[in-house]
Amino acid sequence: MPGQLLGDRYEVERQLGKKSGRWTLLARDLVTEKPVILKLLFVDEEMMPDDLKLFKREIETLQTLSHPCTPKYLGYFEIDLPRDGKALALIQSYMEGTSLQQYLQQGRTLSEAEALQIAQAALEVLLYLHEHQPPIIHRDIKPGNVLLASAPEVITSQVCLVDFGSVKSFAASDFTSFTLVGTDGYMPPEQMGRRAVRASDLYSLGVTLITGMSGIEPEQLPRRGLQIDITQVVNVSSAFANWLRQMTEPELDKRFKIAQEALAALIRIT
């Protein structure tokens, strides 16, 4: 695969991810000499109907986004495969940085100060997405999709959200029924029940921050009922613990409802 030329101009450098019927590749655009991300969807007998729906939705969503901390749509092409098959290829901008998941895999966890910075920066991106017309819900915020612009040994406040493959936009209402997408442990109860609202992304961000500070996967976090027992796994100020508790409140009516509300509460404690 490395060195292979796709679309007559994209030279594959390495594979970044692989799911059933979907590949994510890092490639170099031989025209611009810049790195790009290629997301491939294989159209074959194993492809599920929702795979194509989500792939098309990701393309449509990226075409409408214009934010320095989200990927940019660069194009689309098709690849003919043996046995009359084909693959659809989405081209998007490559974003510099290291994911929070990569830091965790290196044994690095966040300090309270770093978590506060990341929380504020991520909420500002969510504010843009949630106030977009129509509103856009990411639905898969987790350490692997939080990209941190960084220097060696330093995590900065530059935060990008990547992988819009689970995204949902709402033209008329704040929630809808949909195919279950997301990542276990980071999804709130209503999303597990195939509903999503703006506050669903807030829950996922809250769990991501707790995992980032503790290094503990969501399934292993101690709980009281459905609520994460935050003070058992992270040593943070009571104000920040209370904020995280409201971000990850299982009951939707007790959680922050919108990014602006969560951001304003966060600013008051920093």
Mutual orientation of helices 198-214 and 259-269 as an angle, nearest 10°? Answer: 40
Average pLDDT over residues 179-204: 88
Q: For 69-110, what is each residue's pLDDT tens digit? A: 999 999 999 998 777 678 999 999 999 899 999 999 999 999
CATH classification for the domain delimited by 5-93, as one of 3.10.129.10, 3.40.50.150, 3.30.200.20, 1.10.760.10: 3.30.200.20
Torsion of CA 133, 99, 145, 67, to 10 degrees: 10
Query: Rounded mean pLDDT of the chain?
Result: 90
Average pLDDT over residues 172-186: 67
Same CATH topology for 5-93 and 98-269: the answer is no
Report domain extents, the chain: 5-93, 98-269
pLDDT exceeds cutoff 90 at 166: no
- Sequence-distant (6+) residues with CB within 8 A of 123 are 205, 259, 262, 263, 266
Active-site hit among 29, 140, 163, 201: 140
Torsion of CA 266, 161, 103, 220, to 10 degrees: 70
98-269 has CATH 1.10.510.10 classification: yes
Q: For 133-147, what is each residue's pLDDT tens digit? A: 889 999 999 999 999
Average pLDDT over residues 122-141: 94
Task: Output 3-9 pairs: Cβ under 8 A, ≥24 positions apart.
Answer: 5/30, 6/38, 6/77, 6/79, 6/89, 7/77, 7/79, 7/89, 7/91
The reported pLDDT for the residue numbered 114 is 93
Q: How many CB atoms lie within 10 A of CB 63?
A: 11
The reported pLDDT for the residue numbered 172 is 46
The reported pLDDT for the residue numbered 242 is 98
- Alpha carbons 140 and 52: distance in angstroms, whole number: 18
pLDDT exceeds cutoff 80 at 125: yes
Q: For 26-36, what is each residue's pLDDT tens digit? A: 999 999 999 99
pLDDT exceeds cutoff 90 at 158: no
Q: Is 184 an active-site residue?
A: no
* Higher per-residue pLDDT: 185 or 46: 185
